[in-house]
Amino acid sequence: MLDIQSIREDFPILSHTVYGKPLIYFDNAATTQKPRCVVEKIESGYYNVNANIHRGVHFLSLEATEAHEEARRTVQQFLNARSANEIIFTRGTTESINLVASSFTDACMSAGDEVIVSVMEHHSNIVPWQIQAARKGITLKVIPMNARGELELDAYRALFSERTKLVAVTQVSNVLGTINPITEIVEEAHRRGVPVLVDGAQAVPHMRVDVQELDAEFYVFSGHKVYGPTGIGVLYGKEEWLDRLPPYQGGGEMIASVSFEKTTFGELPFKFEAGTPDYIGSTALAEALRYVSRLGMDEIAAYEGELLRYATERLGAIEGMRIFGQAAEKGAVLSFLVGHIHHYDMGMLLDRLGIAVRTGHHCAQPLMQAMGVEGTVRASFSFYNTKEEIDTFAEAVERVRKMF
Ligand code: PMP
């Protein structure tokens, strides 16, 4: 069992007040708050081990290099990847997907080839493919969902053709909370010899992820959503696939040798890490992964599941409540609208009561179109939230409803 009160003490921001009210932070799907150990890791990194990595012969540079590579091994263990060479540090989910979209399309696709995505993708798993579509003439096919917000697997199977070169889907929807049957999705693709990219941005913070068990070729996530710093994220790729792909960006660090006649690229993982990497961010991300591992990913999932059940029950009792996303397997995200109250008005009024939620299209406009709404209000929970906060939240939503 998690000791929520002592966990909350690790997050100084949670004891803040806004407009004189205790802060209730329910915008965790956008970004999570940082525990003291992560912030201290950043501070001590700059104070004690700051030097540019990989190129230095001096003490500090060697120490900083070791810390960055140790962070890579921590991510490897966290995801249970086979090798640290399969862990590429990027700026986040968005950059990781752009990297694969660009390099995979260059190496493996030609005009007329197809990528399968789902209707519930974040823009960051749609737009990079559209950019490649414009460059290379590839096309996107879209897995639809049912009324509960679950992907239609029969329709998915029917999307494959001999031109299908990749499946790129999210593990957990940032809007609906749907936990997709990702193992089945991967198996279906593999049965047809098609590789898979999984967007793990909303999965990694909330559940145990084992990339060998999952068997997807690529898996991506952002540090800032898993209690780590902004500006750092991860691309996991099976070594044989990363080896096959050309570099995404050119520059220092990623080369073996350079002349004006010919440049040869470095080995993995450096081939994909051009320029000075965020070696402070990587070590702070590793600290965040150690923090959630200490709490236990299964314990986190169980507690957040409990919060979701409670919030669904409390909000479900409010007159005019429409909850978007009723999947049987669901993460701790609650998207809703009440009567005809505009999502923006609801968000603004909740804010005045100290409650931080997100409103709008949540970077998933095609999903909004599929649901026939312009936007929703989204509350997303973390292990540091409590049932008491949900009580206050439900009372606040009811108060706003009455105002209208
Ligand atoms: N995919 C999903 C499912 C997300 O929820 C997000 C962030 N909202 C992203 C991708 C993009 O992550 P980032 O902005 O950290 O690159």
239 and 371 assigned to the same domain: no
**Which protein residue's CA is at the shortest distance from atom 12 of ligand 1?**
93
Question: Is 38 contained in some domain?
Answer: no
Atom of ligand 1 nearest to the CA of 222: 15
Which residue shows structure tokens 């696939």?
241
User: Is 363 marked active-site?
Assistant: yes
Query: Both 189 and 311 in a single domain?
Result: no
Give me the CATH number covering residue 85. 3.40.640.10
Distance CA 358, CA 364 (A): 13
Mention every residue, 6+ apart, whose C-beta is less than 8 A from residue 158. none
Domain boundary pick from 246, 279, 294 = 294
If one counts every other C-beta atom within 10 angstroms of the C-beta of residue 250, the result is 12
Task: Tell how far the Cα of 201 is from the centroid of ligand 1, in angstroms.
Answer: 6
CATH for 315: 3.90.1150.10
* 3-class SS of residue 306: helix
Query: How high does pLDDT run on average in the chain?
Result: 97
Which pLDDT belongs to residue 253?
Answer: 86
CB-based contact 105:136 (threshold 8 Å): yes
381 assigned to some structural domain: yes
* Residue ID of nearest Cα to ligand 1 atom 7: 30
pLDDT at 55: 81
Quick one: 226 and 111 in the same domain? yes
Contact 383, 7 (CB under 8 A): yes
User: How many CA atoms does the CB half-sphere of 98 hold within 13 Å?
Assistant: 13
pLDDT tens profile 107-128: 999 999 999 999 999 999 999 9
Tell me what pLDDT residue 320 has: 98
For ligand 1, mutation pick of 207, 222, 278, 358 (most atoms within 8 Å of CB) = 222
Distance 360 CA to ligand 1 centre (A): 15
Residues 53 and 14 in one domain: no
- The pair of structure tokens assigned to 125 is 């798993």
Residues 219 and 310 in one domain: no
Q: Is the CB of 202 under 6 A from ligand 1?
A: yes
Q: Where among 275, 294, 313 does a domain terminate?
A: 294
Could you tell me if residue 41 is inside a domain?
no
Of the residues 274, 294, 314, the one at which a domain ends: 294
Residues 75 and 157: their CA atoms lie apart, in Å, by 33
Q: Is 124 in the pocket of ligand 1 (CB under 6 A)?
A: yes
Residues 315, 240 share a domain: no
**β-sheet bridge partners, residue 358:** 378
Residues 276 and 160 in one domain: yes
CB 239 within 8 A of CB 104: no
**Nearest Cα to 317, choosing from 395, 219, 217?**
395
- Residue 367's pLDDT is what? 97
**Within-domain flag for 40:** no
> Does 39 map to a domain?
no
Q: pLDDT for 172-224, tens place per residue?
A: 999 999 999 999 999 999 999 999 999 999 999 999 999 999 999 999 999 99
Residues 146 and 229 in one domain: yes
Residue 36 lies in a domain: no
CB of residue 247 inside a 6 A radius of ligand 1: no
pLDDT of res. 8: 98
Shortest-distance atom of ligand 1 to CA 172 = 3
Give yes or no: residues 87 and 134 share one domain.
Answer: yes
Mutation test of ligand 1: which of 31, 90, 174, 221 has the most ligand atoms closer than 8 Å to its C-beta? 174
Domain that holds residue 364: 4-28+296-403
Per-residue pLDDT at 185: 98
Asked whether 103 lines ligand 1 (CB < 6 A), one says: no
| Ligand 1 atom at minimal distance to the Cα of residue 224 | 15
Pocket test of ligand 1: the residue of 31, 95, 118, 122 to mutate, having most ligand atoms within 8 Å of its CB, is 122
DSSP-derived 3-state class of residue 348 = helix
20-60 confidence digits (pLDDT tens): 999 999 999 999 999 999 999 999 999 999 999 988 899 99
Cα gap 218→18, rounded to integer Å: 40
* Alpha-helical regions (H) of 11-152: 36-48, 59-79, 93-108, 127-136
Catalytic residue among 37, 39, 84, 363, which? Answer: 363
Threshold 0.95, pTM exceeds: yes
- Looking at the structure of the chain, the number of domains it has is 2
Nearest protein Cα to ligand 1, atom 8 = 30
Ligand 1 within 6 A of CB of 94 = yes
254, 389: one domain: no
Question: Distance between CA atoms of 304 and 64, rounded to whole angstroms?
Answer: 36
Residue 250: per-residue pLDDT: 94
The answer on 273 and 133 residing in a single domain is: yes
Q: Which pLDDT belongs to residue 163?
A: 98
- Asked if residue 212 is part of any domain, the answer here is yes
CA of 237 to the centre of ligand 1 (A): 18
For residues 286 and 396, membership in a common domain is answered with no
Q: Spell out, as residue ranges, where the chain has pLDDT lower than 50.
A: none
Q: How many residues does the chain have?
A: 404
pLDDT in the model for residue 56 = 84
- Domain-located, residue 286: yes
In short, whether 170's Cβ falls inside 6 Å of ligand 1 is yes
Task: Work out the percent of the chain whose per-residue pLDDT is above 70.
Answer: 100
